[in-house]
Amino acid sequence: MRERSILCEDEEQEEQSAKKGIKIAVPLVMAAAVIASLVLVGMKDNAIYAKSVDELMAYREEFVGRTVRVEGTLVPGTLLRNEQSCEYKFKIAKKNAKMDVSYHECVIPDTFRDVSGIDVNVTVQGELQNDDTFKASSILTKCPSKYEMHERVQAGEEVPHR
C-alpha cells in the first residue's frame, strides 16, 4: 500500500508540474502571437509597394493615398515645367495604361529629358491621388548611357556595335 501511495504522489507531482508548465507556456505563446501580429500590421502600413503603371491603375483603389513606387516610360512630348511654382508635369505609361504625374520640386535628375526617339524609363515615388493623378516626391531614371550615346550620334560620332 505504501508503494502505491508513493506512486500516486509522484504522479500527482508530475501532473502539477505539467499544469504549471501549461500555465506559463500559454501566456508566453499568446504574448508572442500578439507581438508578431503587431509587427506584421506595422510593416504593412509602412511598406512601400513597387508597381508598374498598368498594375497600379488596375488596382488603384488599394493604393490611393499610400506611398508607392511606380515604374513606366515617359510619354514623349508630355514633360512640362512651370518655372514660377517649380513644378514638373508629365505622363508615364506601361502597356496600355497611362498616368499623369506632378512633381513639385525645382530640380530633377539630369538624365530625365524628353528626347525624341529615346524611351526614358522612369520610377517615381509618391502617392496616387483620388483623381488618379500621381503626386511624386522623387524621380529616378534608368539607363542614362542611352542619352550619352544619342548625344554622341547627334555630334557626328559613329555608334559602335550597331
Domain ranges of the chain: 1-47, 49-150
User: What pairing do the DSSP bridges indicate for beta strands 49-52 and 67-74?
Assistant: parallel
pLDDT per position as a tens digit, 100-111: 999 998 888 888
**For residues 147-155, average pLDDT:** 64
C-beta of residue 81 within 8 angstroms of C-beta of residue 74 = no
pTM higher than the cut 0.85: no
How confident is the model at residue 159, as a pLDDT? Answer: 58
What is the pLDDT, as a whole number, of residue 45? 53
pLDDT for residue 44 is more than 60? no
Q: What is the pLDDT of residues 19-36, one digit of tens each?
A: 666 777 667 677 677 676
Segment 46-100, tens digit of pLDDT = 567 889 999 999 999 999 989 999 999 999 999 999 988 889 999 999 999 999 9
Beta bridge partners of 49: 68
User: What's the pLDDT at 61?
Assistant: 92
Does the domain formed by 49-150 have CATH 2.40.50.140? yes
**Per-residue confidence (pLDDT) for residue 72, from 0 to 100:** 95
Query: Looking at the chain, how many residues does it have?
Result: 162
For residue 55, give every residue at least 6 positions away whose Cβ sits within 8 Å of its Cβ, in sequence order, or none: none
